[in-house]
Structure 1
Amino acid sequence: MTPDLSRRALLGAGGLAAGALGLTAASGQARAAAKPVAGAVYYLRNVRLETGFERDGDDIAATRTELRTLKIDKGTIAAILPVSAAIPPGATVHDAGGLLMLPSFRDMHIHLDKTFYGGPWRAPRKRKGGIAGQIQLEHKLLPEMLPTLEPRAEALVALLQGNGTTFARSQCNVDKVIGTKHVEKLKAALERHNADFGHEIVAFPQHGLVSIGLEETMRQAIRAGATHVGGIDPTAVDGGMKKSVDTMMQIALDEKAGVDIHIHEPGESGVAAINRITDITAKNPVLKDRVTISHAFSLMSLDKPAAADMAARLSAAGVSIASTVPFGGRVMPIPTLQAGGVKVFTGTDSVVDHWSVFGSGDVLEKAKLACQLYGWSDELAIGQALKIPTGGITPLSPSGEQLWPKAGDAADCVFVAAASSAEAVARLTPRQVVLHRGVVAAGAFPKRT
């Protein structure tokens, strides 16, 4: 959740406009469409894949596609065959109807545990007392919402699946009011979707870590099923950068967990925290590629050379950035981070809750927003923006080499009626079928007559 200092001071009042669906409609639609068959072996005909670019001189004019047949075996793309390939007698066959297949999406920053989604409309209360006021509100609100946490989280999962997301890293409150109960309940809800949805859980100390003596409870949360240790603005909220960061990192090392910390702090204090986290990660190779800075708004304050230097440090240490692609007076240096080799993820953060009600649960929107912010306006640049919702995967390299899918890849796919990745990003093409490990998570293949 993004506190006042980010939403108001940095981003202004703007947000991505999107409505929330009701619990009955959302969950009912997803369950009616989904027919999970874990471990199935089947063939999928008439799958449209991107195979290269059509060029006009030095310019890329369009994306070339071809139809293929795929063999799906126990959640893996076992073979990619010509569309006319003979299929063994008695094999199960489905038809993709010429839909374009893209990698499915990953929502790497969302709060599944405290959402109003699935219930009656409820706008946030007018904020009083800044972050402290919001924390005080949670002291009252979270116990009231606890009994319905699981169905609300599952309704939100259904929304994500319908938008093409098959994996989420959820921030999950750990605090003095509810202890580890959110982690336990969210873990139970997500495990019911192991066949059609992947997940990680961050133990998130929204109300503070060292400032409220939460260290032991955080360790208990990891043992209860959280995969990552979280943190919150070490200087602005937790009362001491070095102690806050060091405690978080030590818990992760002791509990063999990853790290994902909210840093909304602008300017020097945020940069100092990122530098300290990066230094500790570099000194502990076991943490490489297991540490994420969420939001990282302080990077907006860096000039281009400083941002490039930061990107080099983050990349060398294996520290990733999870950005919600904010917009306002300043813009995140995502192109500089990517050019420096930093893994940049995205997430939808709040969808509808007591912090914000403007989320759609669609990470493809983040790719479109990035195109608008950074001037990615041609076929190549728009198509490469697909890296943002997929966690770095694109069907084609910038040179036109086919990167995905390959035999052996997980059958995590989204099917759309689009000519290319670029059209899917630019037009937010509806996702017609979504597969997670070969299981239909949402939608249905077109019926053939």
Structure 2
Amino acid sequence: MSNQELLLRNVRLETGFVRDSNKQIVATETAFFDIHITNGKIKAINAKGQLKNSTENSAQNVKIVEANGLLMLPTFQDMHVHIDKTYYGGDWHAAPWTGDIKNMIRLEEELIPKLLPDSQQRAEASIQLLQSYGSTFARCHCNVDPVSGLKSLEHLLLALDNYKDSFTWEIAAFPQHGILYSQSEGLLREAAQIDIDFIGGLDPTIVDGDMKKSLDIMFDIALDYDKGVDIHLHEDLPSGKAVMEHMIQRVKESPILQGKTFITHAYALAMLPQNELEHIADQFAEYGIGIVSSIPIGQNALPIPTLIKHKVNVRAGTDNIMDNFSPFGSGDMLQKANLCAQLYGWTDEYRLNRALKMITDQPLPLDDQGKQVWPWVGADADFILVKASCSAEAVARLPKREAVYYKGKLVC
């Protein structure tokens, strides 16, 4: 859309919670508004009809869009996704599981050279998929390994650059084949001098065979180049707990990493006794260590309600869209919020509404007390329109994304 100004008419916004006689939240109030957007920002928000004369008659280039009562939600963030080595956009492939991470590494060493020639095109197809479901941001974990060198990263950067006007991102340099196991420290240091944001790691005990050395290399590179840390941790007990404790200690020693350190998967949390879980959750919150999850089901289901209770920053990600590790990723972050609600019994209006915190970094339309806090005048015009009466219904029913806007521009 070339127009610099947009008038979005008759859009539904949430305005508060409805409580019963026992002060329990039983519904969400909404009302209809007209929203004036200019230069990618929200310029004015008025009750339906109030903007019509002042805006439509004042500028020739105002584009008028009739929302027809669709609900406005903030756009989503996919906090963990691999689009540098996906099959998506190409032929169908199931995911052979060898039962052993090192066998999977050997398999990937054979597959990566076959994927590299058109990895940029498949990454772009994946970005389009994420956008179609309402995500305008992703943290992309990109292979850095002796097989691909920095080629996967170079191709990913080219793909992302082609969407810089409609998408934002962070990149984690990910040593999929192990820092020590594949002798990738040098490559990670090279990657750190390119346009990335996080240094990754992988199962430092079962893959690298030396937890402390592997973790210390990861942290040292991050500190040397002013990056964050985001590790893949699939290990169970006792090694998984030991990894998390060492990471807490490293962040404790380097406060600059507080709020910039994440543990993805963290399956060991699901195996901890409750008292140990509560203690480690307190430490995560105190030192700003976040948890990113693909919301697994079964024995690896994480104790997310406990983490949230302790105010740990818990976010969701797609992980694999379709690659040699999994063929199941849809790219739909709203589906992740829905899965959280199903797994943890968030069936009531309030907790369904709050489930959106898992998938967006923007304030939700209502704060925890029910005060309207989004959108606001001056905010970036990043939003989704869906056919739903409220956020709770959107999380529960997964409506089609009717429109996705990024800085006032229609993305899809």
Structure-1-length-normalised TM-score:
0.87
Question: Partner of 1:68 in structure 2?
Answer: 33
Offset at 1:392?
Answer: 6.7
- Counterpart CA distance in 1 for 2:32 and 2:362 is 24
Tell me how far 1:56 sits from its aligned partner: 1.9
Which residue number corresponds to residue 147 of structure 1? 117
* Corresponding residue of 1:108: 79
Find the aligned partners of 1:253 and 1:82 in 2 and give their Cα distance: 50
- Quote the Cα distance in structure 1 between the aligned partners of 2:92 and 2:189: 35
- Say whether the 8 Å CA contact 1:383–1:425 is kept in structure 2: yes
Task: Report the secondary structure of 1:409's partner residue.
Answer: coil
- The letter for the 2-side match of 1:50 is E
Contact 1:72–1:78 under 8 Å retained in 2: yes
Superposition deviation, residue 378 in structure 1: 0.8
1:43 and 1:93 in contact (8 A); partners too = yes
Name the CA shift for 1:100/1:190 in 2 (closer, same or farther; >3 Å): same
Match of 1:133 in 2: 103
1:41 corresponds in structure 2 to 5
Deviations 1:137-172 (A, max 9, x none): 111111111110011011111111111111111111
Q: Is the 8 A contact 2:6 2:408 kept in 1?
A: no
Partner in structure 2 of residue 50 of structure 1 = 14
Moved >4 Å (runs of 4+): none
User: 1:271: Cα distance to partner?
Assistant: 1.4
Q: What's the counterpart of residue 407 of structure 1?
A: 377
Q: Distance in 1 between matches of 2:260 and 2:43?
A: 29
CA distance in 1, matches of 2:274, 2:382: 36
Corresponding position of 2:310: 340
1:263 equivalent in structure 2:
233
Instruction: Indicate which of 278, 289, 292 corresponds to 1:322.
Output: 292
Equivalent residue pairs, number: 405
Give the Cα–Cα distance (whole angstroms) in 1 for the partners of residues 173 and 324 of structure 2: 19
- Contact preservation (8 Å) 1:183, 1:225: no
Answer yes or no: is the 8 Å Cα contact 1:290–1:318 preserved in 2.
yes
Supply the distance in 2 between the matched residues of 1:312 and 1:63 (Cα, whole angstroms). 32
> How far has the Cα of 1:274 moved from its partner?
1.3
Give the aligned partner of residue 376 of structure 1.
346
Please show how residues 279-294 of structure 1 align to structure 2 within 5 Å: 279-294=249-264
Q: How far is 1:55 from its partner?
A: 2.0
Report the equivalent of 1:6: none
Q: 2:387 matched to which residue of 1?
A: 417
In structure 1, distance between residues paired with 2:24 and 2:208: 51
Contact 2:44–2:377 (Cα < 8 Å) also in 1: yes
Note closer, same or farther for the CA distance 1:197–1:55 as it changes in structure 2 (3 Å cut).
same
Out of 63, 67, 81, the position equivalent to 2:46 is: 81
Please give the alpha-carbon distance, in whole angstroms, between the structure 1 residues aligned to 2:87 and 2:164: 23
By how many angstroms is 1:128 displaced? Answer: 3.7
**1:244-284 CA deviation, whole Å, 9 max, x = no partner?**
11110110011111111000101221111112112212222
Report what 1:236 is aligned to.
Answer: 206
Deviation at 1:400, TM superposition (A): 1.0
Match of 2:201, as an amino acid? G
* Deviations, residues 204-240 of structure 1 (Å, cap 9, x unaligned): 0000102332112101112222211000011111111
RMSD (Å) for aligned C-alpha atoms:
1.6
Do residues 99 (structure 1) and 67 (structure 2) align?
no
Counterpart CA distance in 1 for 2:37 and 2:160 is: 24
**What CA distance in whole angstroms lies between the structure 2 residues aligned with 1:335 and 1:341?**
10
Give 1:72's aligned amino acid: I
Cα gap change, 1:332 to 1:438, in 2 (>3 Å):
same
Q: Which amino acid aligns with 2:75?
A: S
Matches within 5 A, 1:160-239: 160-239=130-209
Aligned-pair identity (%): 44
Query: Structure 2 length normalisation: TM-score?
Result: 0.94
Q: 1:74: Cα distance to partner?
A: 2.4
CA shift, 1:287, in A, is: 1.4
Determine whether 1:122 maps to 2:87. no
2:242 matched residue in structure 1: 272
1:309 Cα shift? Answer: 1.7
CA distance in 2 between partners of 1:366 and 1:317 (Å)? 26
**Contact 1:183–1:226 under 8 Å retained in 2:** no
Counterpart CA distance in 2 for 1:158 and 1:246 is 37
Is the contact made by 2:267 and 2:300 (CA closer than 8 Å) also made in structure 1? no
Alignment check: 8 A CA contact 1:345 1:391 kept: no
CA–CA distance in structure 1, aligned partners of residues 260 and 88 of structure 2: 30
In the alignment, structure 1 segments of 5+ residues that lack a partner are: 1-34, 443-449
Structure number with higher relative contact order (C-alpha < 8 Å, ≥ 6 residues apart) = 1
Residue type at the aligned position of 1:396: L
Per-residue deviation at 1:346? 0.5
Alignment equivalent of 2:366, drawn from 382, 393, 396: 396
Quote how far apart the aligned CAs of 1:129 are: 6.4
Code of the aligned partner of 1:118: G
AA at the equivalent of 1:74: N
Aligned AA (1:61): V
Q: Which amino acid aligns with 2:31?
A: E
Match of 1:350 among 291, 301, 320: 320
The whole-number CA distance in structure 2 between the counterparts of 1:48 and 1:260 is 37
